[in-house]
Amino acid sequence: MPRSEREPDLYDRSLYINREISWLAFNRRCLEEAMDPTNPVLERVKFLAICYGNMDEFFMIRMPGLLGGGAEGIANIGPDAFEDEEQLISILNERVGELIDGYEECWNALEEDLAQEGVLFRKYSEMGHKQRMWADDYYMERVHPLLTPLALDISHPFPFISSNSLNIAVEMRDGGGEVRYARLKVPVGILPRFVKVPAAAGRREFALLENIIKANVGQLFPGFDILGCYKFRITRNADVKVTIDEAVDLMSAVETAIDSRDLGFPVRMVVEESMPEDLVAVFAKNLNLRGNQVTRASEQGMMLTDLWEINGLPIPALKDRPFKPYVPPELAESASIFDAIRQKDWVLYHPYETFDTVIRFLRESADDARVQSIKICLYRLGKKSEVIRELMRAKEKGKNVSVLMELRAKFDEVNNIALAKQLEKLGVHVVYGPVELKVHSKLLQVVRLEDDHLVRYTHLSSGNYNANTAKQYADLSLLTANQELGEDVGELFNALTGYFGPRDYRHLLVAPLTLKDALIGLIRREAETQRKGGRAHIAMKANGLIDSDIIAELYRASRAGVGIDLSIRGLCCLRPGVKGVSETITVTSVVDRFLEHSRIYYFENDGDPAMYMGSSDMMPRNLLARVEVLFPVLDKEMLMLIRERILKVNLGDNVKARELRPDGTYVKRAPREGEKRVRSQRWFMENRGAWHG
């Protein structure tokens, strides 16, 4: 619509969706996939495990800030900032309760569907005589020696209960008639949660580890009358703050911080619904939990993250059909990867194209006598990393190898510290980046001597250098020998290993220096183009849209009449379709087999389009508290292919996409009458390599 003379307050909190509520809405979309009967049953199990893990993370990372704890800083900024925090917590608890009910309903349905496929879950009371005998033997031989009963009374200190561990509270009566309590930690992780018990041929039957313990708990308390056993778990604040002073280095500070993570204050307790109130009160009082921080759940609805064990069952018929990632002929094993990159730029779309190409780029670099140096930024890696192995080989072969290892990648700190120490022992130059900023950029550069001059071969990506997650996350990356881009990346590496600050980059947008202002400038240019009667359009694909300045600028562009299509997989605080504010904006979220993780920023610019891709979302933590990089797609033919065969396909999804409504709810899209069904991820699998022309 044309811009009115007087602009409304585009920062009014009513124009923004609360980020915590948006977080839970994403969890709801995952739950819908778990409940969707058109998905293979073990894939639904996977989505339910993801849901439960997301909920744990919500309480570990987001809730502590609302309760007055957790790490302070930019990462906790939300654009709407409820004035009444008690009201917000009440709303969140209501939404959490709805989700937990949904998890239980979903698991009940999955149990029935799995039973149809010969996968059954037995309560101890439902087992046959031989199965019970086997379970009792299993308890005595494998479980009993691992258990440590801890009494709960005034003569014993209240035991420490680790975050997200599964526990059993035991209520019993002693010989004198007095009621006593004790706590047991269930050894999940040491032993499987789902214990496979003997069954008839063609069937897989499982008993929960805690139910086997409950049935034999009298072995731990001889002379006591067992009155009841009840499962429970505690979630603690995990949003640790790394404190740096002159006396310690960054690695030591991170190690100290993660050591304290398990000691964070409790933020929630989930108890089996049958646990007596007086027993709940014992725990709530000692853990300093208020009533609204205690949730009751059914026996089967607790700790569903362990469903990954069931998802891993080797039953291909109950999973998505496997597919073979595409390898462009020019990048095949028989061809020189340096020759291929020198001929043209390559956009790789994982997992539809194999991540092995990136590994091979490193392997060929390690083996090539003309390669002088390798530099890389690492954020998250697998425990047995092929990337690390190739970097170590390159060092052993005499290459100059430099690694920027981000030690503060949440929940990956221990692995990253271990890998950093491993590399340092081999003589690799390892740095950790600016103390005050996380380095989230995904950069790799190989410098090669060719005809007496140095040539830079560069890889820039939206995803991590992790071969395992590259099979599950949909990410875009660029392999290029463009020397201007290479010089920019080389300059950025110098800033990261030296002193980070303002530098001149011809093409890269770098946070926290230029990226946010550049995006705002690009949005404003589209609005101005629209006002002048030119062709204007904005399309963005990202994981999160939270930053209020970016959102306000999109609102202004919409008021100018610019068509804006946003594909935001996770958190989105923008309200589309608000009259006079965002009528030209649509927001969708695709939740499907792979985690949508790529970022694309497209601006029509009156027929001379600009496109950026890279590591950054539109969130305060990305724009202000991290080193992020967006890189331009300089080849116009490549830009058009990405627009037509990746971005438009994603935006056109009408099978797995949900559309955001002004009230913050999401509605699943469906093909209109006569419209072709478009399931974007399936299209990418069936048309692998279409973005190469």
Catalytic-role residue among 440, 459, 537, 597: 440
DSSP character at residue 644: I
Q: With CA atoms as reference, report the closest residue to 61 among 325, 389, 312, 411.
A: 411
Euclidean distance between CA atoms 374 and 389, whole angstroms: 13
| Strand-by-strand arrangement of the 119-121 sheet | 119-121, 204-208, 194-197
- CB-hemisphere CA count at 13 Å for 67? 24
Q: Which residue has the tokens 């958190």?
A: 571
Tokens of 461: 């990506």
Euclidean distance between CA atoms 228 and 230, whole angstroms: 7
Euclidean distance between CA atoms 56 and 235, whole angstroms: 7
Active site (annotated) includes residue 440? yes
Euclidean distance between CA atoms 80 and 98, whole angstroms: 23
Asked if residues 169 and 181 have their Cβ atoms less than 8 Å apart, the reply is: yes
What does 88-153 look like in DSSP terms, one character per residue? Answer: HHHHHHHHHHHHHHHHHHHHHHHHHHHHHTTEEE--GGGS-HHHHHHHHHHIIIIIGGG---EE-S
Asked if residues 321 and 315 have their Cβ atoms less than 8 Å apart, the reply is: no
What is the number of helices (H) and of strands (E) in the chain? Answer: 20, 27
Euclidean distance between CA atoms 375 and 377, whole angstroms: 7
Euclidean distance between CA atoms 149 and 153, whole angstroms: 13
Query: How many CB atoms lie under 10 A from the CB of residue 263?
Result: 12
Residue 184 pairs with which residues in a beta bridge? Answer: 168
Q: What's the Cα-to-Cα distance from 592 to each of 34, 44, 114, 320, 680, rounded to whole Å?
A: 10, 11, 21, 11, 9
Asked if residues 439 and 496 have their Cβ atoms less than 8 Å apart, the reply is: yes
Euclidean distance between CA atoms 602 and 539, whole angstroms: 5
Q: With CA atoms as reference, report the closest residue to 280 among 295, 265, 266.
A: 295
- What single-letter amino acid sits at 261? R
Euclidean distance between CA atoms 65 and 104, whole angstroms: 28
Asked if residues 573 and 554 have their Cβ atoms less than 8 Å apart, the reply is: no
Euclidean distance between CA atoms 431 and 378, whole angstroms: 11
Euclidean distance between CA atoms 397 and 531, whole angstroms: 59
Tokens of 543: 């994981």
DSSP character at residue 236: E
Dihedral angle computed from the Cα positions of residues 52, 56, 61 and 63, in that order, rounded to the nearest 10 degrees: 100
Query: How many CB atoms lie under 10 A from the CB of residue 23?
Result: 20
Q: Which residues contact 263 (CB under 8 A, 6 or more apart)?
A: 236
Euclidean distance between CA atoms 197 and 628, whole angstroms: 50
Q: Which residues are catalytic?
A: 440
